[in-house]
C-alpha cells in the first residue's frame, strides 16, 4: 500500500514538473529556433568571440520539456538566461572545430565560424559561453545580450531552395530526435545514389543498440545539395575540388579526417528541415570521417567500412563519446591525465571506488581488468606501421581495406579468449593514451572495427541523449 502511494506521489510530482516545464517553455519561448552565428578566433592560448548574424532557423525541433542539459558533456557549454530574473532557461554542452584546432598548438591565429541554436526567446536573454578549465569545471568566457526585437535580429524564416526528403518520420519534432542528413560531392545525376546511401547508413544505425530499440524516438530527413563534379577535396593525394558544403579530407593534416569549415553554408542547408543533429555523407570511397559533439559527423559513403564509421562518428557527435582507441596516429593529443576526462566512456581511474560506470560492473570483476594488452599493443602498433606505409605509397583503397580486414580477424581471435570479454570493467588504453586511461569493456565501436556494438558505458551515454530529445 505504502509502495503504491509513493509511486502515485512520484507520478504526480513528475506530472507537475512536466507541466511546470511546459509552462516555462511557453512563458519564455515562441515555437521557433533562434540561431546565433559567430566567429570564434584565437591562438593556442587565447580565444575571442564576435557576432556574425542572429537568424530564425524555423520550427524548434528540440524538446519543450527538457530545456536544461544535465549531462555535463563537451568542452564548451552555452547558457541562455532571462535578463530580468537571471534564471537559466536553456543550456547545452557542445564541442567545436576551434576547440580541436586549439589543442594541436598551431602557432598562428585561427578563426572558425560557429552557430548556437535555442528556442526563440520572447524577451531579451543573455547568451553565455563557458569552457572547461584545467580541472574540467566550466568557466564563463563570453556573453552577449540578445533582444529579439532589436534590428540586428532577423526574424524572417529561410525559404530553402533545396530539395528535401523524409526517410523516417515517427512524429512531432519536439518529442523526437531529429537527424538531418546532408550530402557533399554528389552530382545531380548521383542523387538516386545519395538517397540509397541515406537509406543504407540510416538502416545500419538502427541495427545497433541502443538506437535499435529506440528507433521510434527518431525522425530522419535529408537535404540535396548537388555538386558540379563527383567527390570532394582530397589534398593528401593531390585531388582538389570545390563542392557546395566544402567537405575536405586532411583536416588538421590528418589524411582520413574529413570536415568542413564552412559552417555558414552547412547551417543554411540543414535549416531546410527541423533538426537536432546533422550528419554529412561524403560521396567518396577513401576511408574517412569525423564527428564533433553537437556539431556534425561525416563519413565517406563508399568505403568497405562506411557502415562502421557512420555509427562510430555518430557516437562522437551525438553523445560526446571519446575515441577508445590509442594505437593509431592522430593529429592531436587531448588533456593530460591528472584530471578525470569528462567523456562518459573513458576514465583516468584516479578514484577506482568512484568509477563512473561502477553500477554496470559485476561483483568480482578486477579493476583494472586484465585483457592481454601487451599482445594487442604489439600487434596493433605493427598494423599502424603498415597502414602509414600503404597510405604513403598511395595504394588503391582495396589494399587498405584488406589490411583492416586482417586487423579485424586477428584482434577478434585475441579478444575471443578473454575471460572478461562480455563484462564491464576498466580496461587500460583509450582516448589516444596507451596508459592511464581506461575503457568500460574489452571492445566497442569506439575502439575497433570488430563488431557493431557499443560498450555498456557508451550505450548508456547514448540512451541519456535520446531521452533529452524525445521527452
- The answer to whether 301 and 282 have CB atoms below 8 angstroms apart is yes
Nearer to Zn ion, 150 or 213 (CB): 213
Binding flag, residue 444, Zn ion (CB under 5 A): yes
Applying CB under 5 A, among 258, 455, 461, 468 the residue interacting with Zn ion is 455
- Asked if 424 touches Zn ion (CB under 5 A), the answer is no
Cα–Cα distance between 174 and 402 in angstroms, integer? 44
DSSP for 210-277 reads TTTTTGGGEEEEEE----SSSS-BBTTTTB----TT--BS-GGG-TTB-B---HHHHHHHHTTS--SE
Least spacing, CB of residue 321 vs Zn ion, in Å: 6
Cβ 446 to Zn ion, closest distance in Å? 4
Partners of 296 in beta bridges: 278, 292
Torsion sign, CA atoms 171, 174, 176, 182: positive
Stretch that binds Zn ion, among 12-20, 26-34, 358-366, 457-465 (CB under 5 A): 457-465
Binding flag, residue 442, Zn ion (CB under 5 A): no
Considering only 223, 458, 465, 468, the residue that binds Zn ion (CB under 5 A) is 458
Q: Rounded to the nearest whole angstrom, what is the least distance from the CB of residue 396 to Zn ion in the complex?
A: 32
Identify which of residues 295 and 446 has a Cβ nearer to Zn ion in the complex. Answer: 446
User: Of 29 and 454, which has the nearer Cβ to Zn ion?
Assistant: 454
Footprint (CB under 5 A) of Zn ion, residues 326-365? 345
* 173 is an interface residue for Zn ion by CB under 5 A: no
From 184-192, 261-269, 299-307, 440-448, span contacting Zn ion (CB under 5 A): 440-448
CA distance 359 to 324: 20
Q: How many chain residues touch Zn ion (CB under 5 A)?
A: 5
Q: Are 324 and 334 in contact (CB under 8 A)?
A: no
The least CB distance from residue 384 to Zn ion, in Å, is 20
- For cell 599482445, the residue is 375
What are the distances in angstroms from CA 77 to CA 100, 103, 113, 293, 432? 15, 18, 17, 11, 24
* Nearest CB to Zn ion, comparing residues 361 and 458: 458
Residue 344 CB, nearest approach to Zn ion (Å): 9
Which residue number, 288 or 315, has a Cβ lying nearer to Zn ion?
A: 315
Give the residue, chosen from 97, 222, 446, 465, that forms a contact with Zn ion under the rule CB under 5 A: 446
Contact between 219 and 202 under an 8 Å Cβ cutoff? The reply is no
State how far the Cα of 160 lies from the Cα of 167, in Å rounded to an integer: 18
Shortest distance, CB of residue 440 to Zn ion, whole angstroms?
A: 6
Of 93-101, 132-140, 179-187, 439-447: span binding Zn ion (CB under 5 A): 439-447
| 133 within 8 A of 144, measured Cβ to Cβ | no
Q: Return the number of the residue (72 or 187) whose C-beta is nearest Zn ion.
A: 72
Asked if residue 342 lies in contact with residue 321, where contact means CB atoms within 8 angstroms, the answer is: no
> Least distance (Å) from Zn ion to the CB of residue 443?
9
Distance from C-alpha of 180 to C-alpha of 178, rounded to nearest angstrom: 7
CB 280, min distance to Zn ion, A: 23
Shortest Å, Cβ 439 to Zn ion: 6
Q: What is the DSSP letter of 173?
A: G
Q: Please identify, using beta-carbon distances, which residue of 218 and 438 lies nearer to Zn ion.
A: 438
DSSP string, 316-344: HHHH-PPP---SS--S-----TTS--SST
- Residue 268 vs 423, nearer CB to Zn ion: 423
Q: Contact, 373 vs 380, CB < 8 A?
A: no
Q: How far is the CB of 295 from Zn ion (least distance, A)?
A: 20
CA distance 426 to 411: 19
Cα(83)–Cα(387) distance, rounded to whole angstroms? 55
Q: Which is nearer to Zn ion, 455 or 466 (CB)?
A: 455
Question: Which C-beta is closer to Zn ion: that of 232 or that of 360?
Answer: 360
Residue 80 or 455: the one with the smaller Cβ distance to Zn ion is 455
CB 345 to Zn ion: min, Å: 4
**Complex with Zn ion: residue 129 or 349, whichever CB lies closer:** 349
DSSP SS3 for 294: coil
The dihedral formed by the CA atoms of 421, 422, 425 and 430, expressed in degrees to the nearest 10:
60
Does 459 bind Zn ion (CB under 5 A)? Our answer is no
Hey, which residues does 38 pair with through a beta bridge? 51, 114
Sign of CA dihedral 435, 436, 439, 440: positive
For residues 464 and 457, what is the distance between their CA atoms, to the nearest angstrom?
Answer: 11
Nearest distance from C-beta of residue 252 to Zn ion, angstroms: 23
Q: Which residues contribute to the site for Zn ion (CB under 5 A)?
A: 345, 444, 446, 455, 458
Amino acid at each position: 500500500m505504502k509502495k503504491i502511494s509513493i509511486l502515485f506521489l512520484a507520478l504526480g510530482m513528475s506530472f507537475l514538473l512536466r507541466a511546470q516545464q511546459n509552462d516555462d517553455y511557453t512563458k519564455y519561448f515562441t515555437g521557433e529556433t533562434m540561431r546565433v552565428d559567430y566567429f570564434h578566433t584565437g591562438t593556442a592560448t587565447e580565444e575571442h568571440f564576435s557576432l556574425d548574424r542572429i537568424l530564425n532557423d524555423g520550427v524548434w525541433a528540440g524538446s519543450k520539456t527538457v530545456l536544461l542539459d544535465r549531462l555535463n558533456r563537451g568542452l564548451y557549454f552555452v547558457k541562455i538566461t532571462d535578463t530580468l530574473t537571471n534564471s537559466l532557461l536553456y543550456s547545452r554542452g557542445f564541442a567545436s572545430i576551434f576547440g580541436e584546432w586549439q589543442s594541436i598548438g598551431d602557432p598562428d591565429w585561427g578563426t572558425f565560424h560557429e552557430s548556437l541554436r535555442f528556442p526563440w526567446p520572447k524577451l531579451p536573454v543573455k547568451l553565455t559561453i563557458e569552457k572547461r578549465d584545467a580541472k574540467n569545471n566550466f568557466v564563463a568566457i563570453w556573453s552577449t545580450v540578445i533582444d529579439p526585437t532589436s534590428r540586428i535580429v532577423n526574424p524572417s524564416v529561410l525559404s530553402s531552395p533545396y530539395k528535401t526528403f523524409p526517410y523516417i518520420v515517427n512524429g512531432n519534432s519536439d518529442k523526437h530526435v531529429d537527424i538531418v542528413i546532408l550530402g557533399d560531392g554528389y552530382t545531380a545525376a548521383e542523387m538516386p545514389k545519395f538517397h540509397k546511401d541515406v537509406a543504407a547508413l540510416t538502416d545500419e544505425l538502427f541495427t545497433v543498440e541502443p538506437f535499435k530499440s529506440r528507433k521510434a524516438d527518431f525522425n530522419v530527413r535529408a537535404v540535396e545539395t548537388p555538386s558540379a563534379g563527383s567527390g570532394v577535396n582530397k589534398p593528401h593525394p593531390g585531388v582538389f575540388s570545390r563542392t557546395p558544403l566544402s567537405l575536405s579530407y586532411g583536416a588538421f593534416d590528418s589524411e582520413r579526417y574529413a570536415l568542413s569549415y564552412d559552417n555558414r553554408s552547412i547551417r543554411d542547408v540543414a535549416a531546410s528541415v527541423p533538426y537536432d543533429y546533422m550528419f554529412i555523407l561524403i560521396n567518396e570511397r577513401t576511408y574517412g570521417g569525423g564527428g564533433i559533439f553537437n556539431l556534425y559527423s561525416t563519413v565517406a559513403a563508399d568505403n568497405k567500412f562506411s557502415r562502421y564509421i557512420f555509427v562510430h562518428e555518430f557516437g562522437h557527435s551525438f553523445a560526446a563519446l571519446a575515441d577508445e582507441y590509442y594505437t593509431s596516429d592522430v593529429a592531436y593529443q587531448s588533456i593530460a591525465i591528472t584530471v578525470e576526462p569528462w567523456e562518459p566512456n573513458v576514465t583516468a581511474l584516479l578514484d577506482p571506488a568512484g568509477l563512473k560506470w561502477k553500477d554496470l560492473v559485476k561483483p568480482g570483476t578486477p579493476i583494472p581488468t586484465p585483457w592481454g594488452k601487451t599482445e594487442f599493443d604489439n600487434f596493433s602498433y605493427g598494423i599502424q606501421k603498415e597502414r602509414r606505409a600503404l597510405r604513403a605509397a598511395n595504394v588503391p583503397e582495396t589494399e587498405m581495406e584488406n589490411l583492416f580486414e586482417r586487423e579485424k580477424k586477428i584482434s577478434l581471435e585475441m579478444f575471443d579468449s578473454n575471460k572478461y570479454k562480455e563484462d564491464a570493467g576498466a580496461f587500460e588504453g583509450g582516448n589516444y593514451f596507451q596508459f592511464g586511461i581506461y575503457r568500460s569493456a574489452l571492445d566497442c565501436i569506439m575502439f575497433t572495427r570488430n563488431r557493431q556494438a557499443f560498450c555498456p558505458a557508451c550505450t548508456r551515454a547514448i540512451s541519456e541523449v535520446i531521452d533529452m530529445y524525445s521527452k
